[in-house]
Amino acid sequence: MVSSWPHGSIAGSGVSVSAHSIERALKAKGWDVEFIKPRFPAGGYLATSAKRFFFNLRLRSDNRIADGAPIAAFDFDGFFFLQA
């Protein structure tokens, strides 16, 4: 699962809450779930948006994605993934 939203429910709006709820539900059903997320603090809207954009640019070379496993991405995350 990929989400570049800040991970606090207030900073990340409903996106963060939804993504983590789906993660918990999948794990409860026995799925092996890995959350791919950046490590930057929430800031202003423009600064956070720029950080999210560059996080997504780097995803194309992330080995965790290269193995072809199914991916769930939230909001605009994953828009740079290569097409199969």
- Model pLDDT for residues 46-78, shown as the tens digit of each residue: 888 888 888 888 887 888 777 667 677 877 787
- Say if residues 52 and 2 touch (Cβ distance below 8 Å): no
Instruction: Indicate whether 24 pLDDT > 80.
Output: yes
At 32, list the tokens.
């092996």
Q: Is the pLDDT of residue 12 over 70?
A: no
Q: What does the pLDDT read at residue 11?
A: 57
pLDDT score of 84: 47
Dig out the tokens for 5 from the structure.
């939203």
Identity (one letter) of the amino acid at 69? Answer: A
Closest by CA position to 37, among listed 66, 70, 65, 68 = 65
Domain boundaries, the chain: 1-84
Provide the whole-model pTM.
0.71
What average pLDDT does the structure give for the chain?
A: 79
